[in-house]
Each structure stands twice: as structure tokens, then as C-alpha cells.
Amino acid sequence: MLNFSSIWSSQGNGGSDVLPVLRLSYHYLHPELKKCFAYCAIFPQGYLFRKKSLVRLWMAEGFIKESQEGEEMEMIGAKYFRELVSGSLFQWSSYHHSFVMHDHIHEVAESVAGETCFRLEDHAEKCKLCQKTARARHLSYNCGIKKFEAFHGGESLRTFLPLPRYLPYGESSETNNVHLNWLPKLRVLSLNGYYITKLPHSIGDLKHLRYLDLSMTGITCLPKEVCLLYNLQTLILKDCSRLERLPSKIGNLTYLRYLKITSALLEGMPAGLKELKSFKH
């Protein structure tokens, strides 16, 4: 892999001399790294991300699998991440101990991702939603979406990822009408920042779901159908200040590896958590 730290000063006019070199570096990445790198086109330019959070998304998408030698997915993902950092495809940002992609590198990620990644970045693009999601696999957005029926025709979506930090004030997606039957193949579902007080029972139909983020929502409990998400790896409940309890059968989530809960009103944790062999304490 080429290292680009020494060539940013020779970008030429608008970076046109650098882009072919960047594409060449992508060409020589391992197939697994190509998928991980292209996936980052789901983020806007200048988006700050953290290593562990991105690795969990890669895991949920199936880009990382445990090795035959028993090396855990988190370790493999961290190794992939270090390779992309060492090649200067990811750059360290001192802001909140995070990382960022240089704009030109982000352009390469967008190019190789093609139509598999779709970012909805303003209200004017909402008219393209049905057309784009019919081909997209991974969707992110930073403007309010209040009607989930807008995703009708996007049955092949694997990722539904709002980016709350980019939502303008007053544009939070306030809805309790979360209809998930349009999105049967989801692996990553985030409702982070949605003003919802409950999840529909249909959450249990998302059999492929591996990553569920309900942070900063108004939910008071999780429906028992959450315990039917047998492939779930990551469950994030940060700043759920009204959350009172977890389902008693959460121990059924045998693949659950990561559970993050903050600012909740929980009286205790279900005993079944102790029985989860994959759980990372």
C-alpha cells in the first residue's frame, strides 16, 4: 500500500494529479479492505469517526469474519483499521480522539462504492429517495425523515444510518410511526436521535439485524421481540434517559458482543446477560 503523507503537497490543480495515484492504491488493497474502505463513502466529507464504532459497523455488514485460527473479529477489524491508517487513507484527528478521510480519498471511496452507498444530505434530494434506494445497499442521511414509507422499494437496504451531528436544529426526525416492514434485510439500523417512545413489535422480523442503535430516544422499554434478533451483535442505548427495563429473555441474543447503556433508569440487568458467551464485558 502506498503512503500518501508525502504527496499531499504535490496535488496540482484541485488534486487532479493525486487522484489516479489514490485509485491505484485502492486497486492493491486486499479484497476485505476494499469493502471496508468503500463502505466509508456512506459518511459525508469531513465526518469524524472512531475506530471501535467503525469496526462494529464493518462486523455488522459482514466485512469481517473470525479467522480459522480463532482470532476475534474485533482484533481483525482493528488490524484492517491500522492498515488503512498506515496507508494514510484514514487520518488522525485530535478532535475527540477520532479519525477523518482526506477529501480526495473520500472521492475515491465514493467512486468505488458507486450506487451501493447513498447519502441523503438535503431536503431537495428527498425526491430521489425511492429511485436511489432501489439500487443502494447502504443509506445515511443528515436531514429529517419522518415517514418510513419513503423507503418503499428499498427492500435491499442493509444499512439505515442517520448522522445526528449533522441535523440542523429543529430538524430531528420526530415520529412514533416506525414501520420496519419495508426494510427486511437490514443489518444496521440506527434510530439515534429520533423522538420515539416505543419500537414496533415488527422489530423481531429483522432476522438479519446485527447492529441496533437507539441512543437519545424516548423509549421506556424494549419489546420482547428484540430477543428474536438472534444475529444481533451490537446494541447501543446511550442517553436513553427514560429506559426502565430490558427484556427478561435478552440472554437469547447469543451473538450479542457489545451493549452500551448510559443515563438510563434501569433497576437492574437481566440475569441472562451472564450467559452470553460472545459478550464483551
pLDDT tens per residue, range 72-84 = 999 999 999 999 9
- 200 and 135, same structural domain? yes
Q: Per-residue confidence at 167, pLDDT binned at 50, 70, 90?
A: very low
More confident site: 2 or 60: 60
pLDDT for residue 94: 81
User: Which residues 6+ apart lie within 8 Å of 14 measured at CB?
Assistant: none
- 127 and 99, same structural domain? no
- 234 and 107, same structural domain? no
pLDDT for residue 131: 59
Q: How many CB atoms lie within 10 A of CB 244?
A: 12
Return d(Cα 160, Cα 148) in angstroms, integer. Answer: 11
pLDDT tens per residue, range 19-71 = 677 777 788 899 999 999 999 999 999 999 999 999 999 999 999 988 878 88
At 157, which CATH number?
Answer: 3.80.10.10
pLDDT for residue 3: 53
| CA atoms lying within 13 Å on the CB side of residue 217 | 27
Flag whether pLDDT at 277 surpasses 60. yes
Of 3-7, 171-175, 229-233, which range is least confident? 171-175
Cell numbers standing for residue 237:
442505548
- 70 and 154, same structural domain? no
pLDDT for residue 149: 55
User: Which of 136-150, 177-191, 219-233, 240-254: highest mean pLDDT?
Assistant: 219-233
Pair type for strands 258-261 and 91-93: unpaired
Q: Per-residue confidence at 205, pLDDT binned at 50, 70, 90?
A: very high
Where among 62, 92, 111 does a domain terminate?
111
User: Which of 3-17, 33-47, 159-173, 179-193: highest mean pLDDT?
Assistant: 33-47
More confident site: 281 or 113: 113
Residue 84 contacts residue 90 (beta carbons within 8 Å): yes
- 140 and 107, same structural domain? no
Return d(Cα 200, Cα 57) in angstroms, integer. Answer: 23
How many domains does the chain divide into?
Answer: 2
Where among 66, 83, 111 does a domain terminate?
111
pLDDT for residue 136: 86
Q: Per-residue confidence at 113, pLDDT binned at 50, 70, 90?
A: very high
pLDDT for residue 176: 56
Domain residue limits at 162: 121-275
Residue 116 lies in a domain: no
- 135 and 65, same structural domain? no
pLDDT for residue 173: 45
Return d(Cα 58, Cα 62) in angstroms, integer. Answer: 6
- 150 and 101, same structural domain? no
Flag whether pLDDT at 193 surpasses 50. yes
Flag whether pLDDT at 177 surpasses 50. yes
Pair type for strands 188-190 and 98-100: unpaired
